A and B are shown apart, each in its own frame.
Chain A
Amino acid sequence: MDKQEYNKIGREVVKKYKEDILPKCARFEEERIKIKNRSYLVLCLAFLVSVMFFFFPGLISVESALKITLIIFVVAFGLNYIWAKSFELEVKQSVMRYFCSCFGDLKWAALAENIVDDNFIAQSNLFKTNQSSQYDYDDIFKGSFRDVNFEIIELESYTVTRTVKGRKNRTRQFKGAIIKIKTDKTFNSNTVIRPDSLMHFSPDSKLKHTTLEDVQFERKFDVFTTDEVEARYLITTAFMDRLNNLKMAFNIDKISCAFYNQHLLIGLHTNKDLFKFASIGKSLFDYSEFSKLFKEIMSIYEMIDYFKFGEKTKI
């Protein structure tokens, strides 16, 4: 994608943001300020009540005072947390689809309407899973660019085991988002790129570790594949650049990638809520959150453009 096209899409998106999104944010901005003020008030009250016990020591014992202070602060922070989360969810449900409409047919899909194939994700070897892996899903986006369909799925994968004493032990395998791009091109192999490890253990017996020529890339990633020729065809220096751009656009530390069964899957490993754009502390008129979302979507568009996934070839 050249700079001209990038800027053209950018201008259209900004225009829609100013005409459609900003007016809708005005109502929520007032509500945000009210909730923010309310939160400060509750905290101040909690502080004052706590301080009172220490100014009047005769009222109750120090031990009781400390306990009550702790309870008051827990309740205050708890209330603030609930108000903040309710507000974020309300804004997301109301405004997110308008945000997405700035990017053509990008849709924020509700979980009930879209069932993600857990087996597919496990078979791609994008990250470590096993038969007892469970998945919790959050935001799901669906869109298309140049007739190529893609999805962005926020999820957490984990296993639950029981200790000898009967306690449940939850082990996280993956947290973050998966970008799933469907392609018309045929991938005969399963090629997996994972963050570099010392021993290069293969995620699957069919996948062999392969060493590419780019030394810098080799230092950061392990590449496993069932077809070394196709792995080298797919993983070029231009692809490595775009993968790096994607990583920077989403501002994450670890990224993995898998080519499997007509799909390119990119795993963004992070504990952050990637698509949270409303918070009590930040104005809804702050363009930086929208700008972040724009860069994230554009990095996906660049990946689709680079691979020319929309082209049907006879290979």
Chain B
Amino acid sequence: MNGTVLLLVVGAVVLFALYSIYVKLIKTKNKVFEALSSIDVQLKKRYDLIPNILTIANKFMEHERGLLEEIAKLRSQATKLGKGESNLSQKIQLDKMIQDKMSQFMVAVENYPQLKSDQTMLVAMQTYNEVEEHICAARRFYNSAVNELNNQVEIFPSSMVAGMIGIKRQPFFEASEAERQSISAANYLK
């Protein structure tokens, strides 16, 4: 009798422990989705802001039409992508391309003093910079959530439960090879 009771208690404890690990894994996985979704929210703010900036810039930047059209095209492609995990790599790719083009745009604005001093443009640029910082913060949140999930997926005993319910490692947001290269001032001062 005592042996049976002990066995039941141990069994209950083990089941409870497994259930706690399962709950923690699910919560962490959902946190990763929440983080991904928060990146989408910030990206949407950026995509909503870009047409305003391009409209203002269009009046002044006659010689940069090609660049403005490229940015508009990329923005359109990005907004057509759905939310969620399925388009993640495509999303990351497009996001990087838009970032590159917008950086080129910011440099080009320097050649148009009238545009630079336009009050509406100033506010739009400040807002854009804030949006970029929010996107950066959203990526950090995503990486933090992914780090927590990957630790649980790889470390025993939660790795065992993760394997049973099919939760796998997730990729981090990483800088591209080009972004990791050190910047040479000589490339810009020609």
Residues of A within 8 A of B (CB): 210-213, 228-233, 308, 311-315
List B23-81 residues whose CB lies under 8 Å from chain A: 35, 38, 42, 45, 49
Compute how far the CA of A213 lies from the CA of B137 in the bound complex, rounded to whole angstroms.
Answer: 11
Given contacts A315-B130, A315-B131, contact A233 B137 (CB under 8 A): yes
Given A213-B140, A229-B141, does the pair A315, B123 have CB atoms closer than 8 Å?
no
**Which residues of chain B have a CB within 8 Å of any CB of chain A?**
35, 38, 42, 45, 49, 123, 126-127, 130-131, 133-134, 136-138, 140-141, 144
By the criterion CB–CB under 8 Å, are A233 and B134 in contact? Answer: yes
A230 to B133, CA, bound (A): 10
List chain B residues, Cβ under 8 A from A232. Answer: 137-138, 140-141
> Is the CB–CB distance between A315 and B137 below 8 Å?
no
Q: Which residues of A contact B144 (CB under 8 A)?
A: 210-213, 228
Contacting residue for A228 out of B49, B133, B141, CB 8 A: B141
The answer to whether residues A229 and B42 also contact, given A213-B140, A315-B134 and a CB cut-off of 8 A, is: yes
B43 to chain A, nearest CB (A): 12
Residue in contact with A311 in the complex, picked from B126, B136, B138, CB distance below 8 Å: B126
Chain B CB within 10 Å, residue with most, of A212, A231, A308, A311: A311
18 further interface pairs, Cβ-Cβ under 8 Å (given A228-B144, A314-B123)? A210-B144, A211-B144, A212-B144, A229-B134, A229-B137, A230-B134, A230-B137, A231-B137, A232-B141, A233-B134, A233-B137, A311-B126, A312-B123, A313-B123, A313-B126, A313-B127, A313-B130, A315-B134
Q: Collect the chain B residues with CB atoms within 8 Å of residue A315's CB.
A: 45, 127, 130-131, 134
Which residues of A sit under 8 angstroms from B131, Cβ to Cβ?
315
Q: A232 to B49, alpha carbons, bound, how many Å?
A: 22
Q: How far is the CA of A232 from the CA of B137 in the complex (A)?
A: 5
Q: How many A-B residue pairs have CB under 8 A?
A: 41
Q: How far is the CB of A119 from chain B (nearest CB, A)?
A: 30
Some 21 contacts from A to B, beta carbons below 8 A apart, are A211-B144, A212-B144, A228-B35, A228-B38, A228-B141, A229-B137, A230-B137, A231-B137, A232-B140, A232-B141, A233-B133, A233-B134, A233-B136, A233-B137, A311-B126, A313-B127, A314-B127, A315-B45, A315-B127, A315-B131, A315-B134
Measured in the bound complex, the distance between the Cα atoms of B45 and A233 in whole Å is 15
Interfacial chain B residues near A312, Cβ < 8 Å: 123
From A212, A229, A314, B138 is in contact (CB under 8 Å) with A229
Alpha-carbon separation in the docked complex, A287 to B42 (Å): 50
What residues of chain A lie closer than 8 Å to B38, measured between beta carbons?
228-229
- Residues of chain A lying within 8 A (CB to CB) of residue B134: 229-230, 233, 315
Q: B164: shortest Cβ distance to chain A, in Å?
A: 27
Q: What separation, in Å, do the CA atoms of A231 and B126 have in the docked complex? A: 20
State the CA gap A230–B35 with chains docked (Å): 12
Complex CA distance for A233 and B38, rounded to whole angstroms: 12
Residues of A within 8 A of B130 (CB): 313, 315
- The docked-state distance in angstroms from the alpha carbon of A313 to that of B134 is 13
For the complex formed, measure the closest distance between the CB of B154 and the CB atoms of chain A, giving whole angstroms.
18
- Residues of B within 8 Å of A308, CB to CB, are 126
10 cross-chain pairs, A with B, having the tightest CB-CB distances, nearest first: A233-B137, A232-B137, A313-B127, A314-B127, A229-B138, A228-B141, A229-B38, A232-B140, A229-B137, A315-B130
Residues of B within 8 A of A311 (CB): 126
Q: Hey, which chain B residues are within 8 Å of A229, CB to CB?
A: 38, 42, 134, 137-138, 141
| Nearest neighbor of B134 in chain A, beta-carbon distance | A233
Query: How distant is A313 from chain B, measured CB to nearest CB, in Å?
Result: 4
The chain B residue with its CB closest to the CB of A232 is B137
- Give the complex CA separation of A314 and B49 in angstroms: 10
How many Å from the CB of A149 to the closest CB on chain B?
A: 20
Q: What is the CB-to-nearest-CB distance from A262 to chain B, in angstroms, rounded to a whole number?
A: 15
